[in-house]
Structures are given as C-alpha cells and as structure tokens.
Amino acid sequence: MAMQRVRVEAGVVRAAVVVRLAGTLDSATAAETRRELADATEGAPPPDQVVVDVRDVERLSEDGARTLVAFARAAEARGMWFGLLVAPDSPVPLALDAVDPRRRLPRFDDLSAALAVETTYDEASLDQQVRVLTRSLLQVTTVHDVLRQVVDAAALAIPGAATVSVNLRHPDGAFRTPLGTAGIAADLDQVQYRSGRGPCADSAKDDGPAFAASADLRDEPRWPEFAAAAVAAGYHSVLSTALLPAAGPGRLTGALNVYATRPHGLTTWDRHAALLLATHASLALAQVRQAELADLRDAQLRRAIDSRDVIGQAKGILMNRQGISADEAFTVLRRTSQDLNVKLVDLATTLARDGG
C-alpha cells in the first residue's frame, strides 16, 4: 500500500489522503489493510477527503470488500468525504455492490475528478454571507427575524444545500418548524416529530448529540421513517447542527438543517459553514429571546398595575355609594364576578367606566 497526502486549493487549503492498494485484498490481507487504512487517516485534524485508489487491485474477496465498506463508513462518520478511484473494467465495484447493494460508494476513474468534488467550496462566499449576516443580526428584534436571516444565509453560503430549515424546541418539549426554504422541509420535520427520531429532532434536544448527519439516506438505520420520507421527496443526504440555548427560563433550543438532493452531497466544508452560521444564530437567538422575555415581563407588569388600579377605582365607587369597607367592596366585586361569570378586572373596568 502506498499513501500520499495532497493539498487542494479552492479558496482555502485543504488536505486529502490518497491511499493506493495493489494486488489481492482478501481474508488473508484484510486485517493488515484495515490497520493501514486507519493509520492513513490518523492525526488531528483529520483530512477532509479520503480517496482509495484500487485501480491496481487484481482480486477483491468478500472480506476485502467488507473492509473497504467499513472503512468508508468510519471515515464519513468522522466528517471525511470518501471516494474510490477505479479502473474502467475493474471487478472491484461488482464486489462492493455484492456486499452492500443498497449503498453505492462514489467512484471515479480520474484522481483530479475525485478531488474536485470538494473544490466547489467557496470560502469567499461564506465570508461574505457571514459578514452580511452579522450586520443584519445586529438589527433584528424578533426570533422569527433571526431564523429568517440564518436560513437565507445558509441557502446562499452552502453550495450543496437544496433546502434549508430551522426547527425549534420549546421549554415544554414541543417542536415546531417556523420556517424553511421549501414547504417539504416542514413536512420532513413533522415525520421526525411523530416518530421521535431524526437528525433535526436529535440535534435540537438538550441531551442530544448537537450534530447529526447522514451522507446517504438510502442506507440509514437510525431514522427509518425520516429517511424513507426524505428519499421519497428527493433528498439523499442531510446535516443538522444545534442552535445552542441561552441559560435561564423560557429558553429555546433548535437546529439548523441542510438537505441535499444527491448522496454525499454535503461536504466537510458544508458542515463547517453550517456550524459557523448556527453559532451566529445561537448568539443572536439568545439575545433576542431575552429581550422578548423582558418585554413580556414588562407587559405583564403593566397589565397587573393597570388591573390593580381599575379594581381600586371600582372598590372606591362601591365604598362611596354603599358606605362599606375596602374588604367588603372587594368581596362584592368578587361575588358578582362569579355570579355573572365575568372576569373581575372586566367587571371593575365596566364599573369604573360607567359608574353603574
């Protein structure tokens, strides 16, 4: 096995690992190959891409195919994009399909084409969207405005995004999808709410993983109901990252959700962009939410003061007209409110306004 670390320039410099395999990959060599593949991607931070070159593999047994499939899944679970470099007449694809017929690993016959999958990322676009988003978030005053700005920015900054949505989880545990770039996003969220399973629902929970993704929903055992609905709607990959809540009562949790139409359609850099946008959204959401709660408390206090004043006026009228004490006047108001099935403050308002 030979290994080469290459650099890909596309607005930013990113690392890719190309692993070249040759000869026979069967039960006798599977364990050694497994160790060498794992060693190739060790280190921090991990590479953004892993391409396994199997053009010189002459024979691939079932054990060898399982080794490659397991390595691909492990790489994707760590946030790496995985692809195969195969010869046009290679038997490798047939062996892989026999082991995992529902899941087709990305295949290329040219190394530059394989590496170009990740080079669609545009750091300048993300930088521009973050700057625009930061300025706009300084001016928003409602939760809805924050979410609208973040969804719009994500749709523009993430190349693989076909649909973007935000879902919120209220303190009582109830979920809702306030907005998205397409109505189907709300429908897919509802599937998760009913089943209790899905990337968006998981990420929005206080005790959730904060990030969830699937590179190929056609082969996704964690959320079967959601995966089936998403694939039926034409979406084959998804990522969801949490909107972190502010401390204190009345806090909202949520998730920013990005859907792509093709398998492996969301890259490592798409994930980085989503995380960055979600962080901005979390800060703005916490600030706006606290302001909304403060306004609500002020409004409740004003209503309480107004209610106390109007009840005091009504008590004064009864005390003056009937020669009774303040406690007796309040008893009359309370009893009349119950007899007429009218709120005490409404009864007092009528009495203070009409004097009758």
Give 65-96 pLDDT, tens digit per residue: 888 888 887 776 666 777 888 888 787 888 88
Structure tokens, 300: 């409740």
What is the CATH code for 299-354?
1.10.10.10
Omega before 263 cis (within 30°)?
no
CA distance 146 to 131: 15
Which residue bears the tokens 């609905």?
Answer: 229
Q: How confident is the model over 106-137, as pLDDT tens digits?
A: 778 888 777 765 434 455 555 665 666 666 66
Provide the token pair at 192: 């998760």
Stated pTM of the model = 0.51
Pairing of strands 211-214, 2-9: unpaired
**What does the alpha-carbon distance between residue 197 and residue 175 come to, in Å, rounded to a whole number?**
12
- Residues 241/200, Cβ–Cβ less than 8 Å: no
Q: How far is CA 70 from CA 41, 67, 74, 348, in A?
A: 14, 5, 6, 74
Strand residues in the chain grouped as ranges (E): 2-9, 13-25, 49-60, 81-85, 107-108, 163-169, 175-180, 211-214, 237-243, 253-260
Three-state DSSP class for 57?
Answer: strand
- Give me the phi and psi of 135, to 5 degrees please: -65, -45
CATH H-level superfamily of 2-119? STAS domain (3.30.750.24)
Q: Which of 350, 353, 313, 306 is nearest to 330 (CA)?
A: 313
123-293: CATH homologous superfamily? GAF domain (3.30.450.40)
> 189 with 174: CB under 8 angstroms?
no
Q: How far is CA 212 from CA 75, 103, 199, 237, in A?
A: 15, 19, 5, 11
The domain ranges of the chain are: 2-119, 123-293, 299-354
Per-position pLDDT tens, the chain of length 356: 444 444 434 333 457 788 888 888 888 888 888 888 888 777 655 677 788 888 888 888 888 888 888 888 777 666 677 788 888 878 788 888 787 765 667 778 888 777 765 434 455 555 665 666 666 666 666 777 777 777 877 887 787 888 888 887 777 777 777 765 557 888 888 899 898 899 988 887 777 678 899 989 998 999 999 999 999 988 999 999 888 765 555 566 788 899 988 888 888 778 888 888 888 777 767 666 555 544 455 555 556 555 666 777 777 777 777 778 878 877 877 787 777 787 877 777 777 776 65
- Residue 340's CB: how many other CB atoms inside 10 A? 10
By residue count, the chain amounts to 356
What's the longest Cα–Cα distance across the chain? 108
* Cα distance between residue 51 and residue 116, in whole Å: 12
Q: Which helix (H) or strand (E) holds 117?
A: none
DSSP code, position 118: G
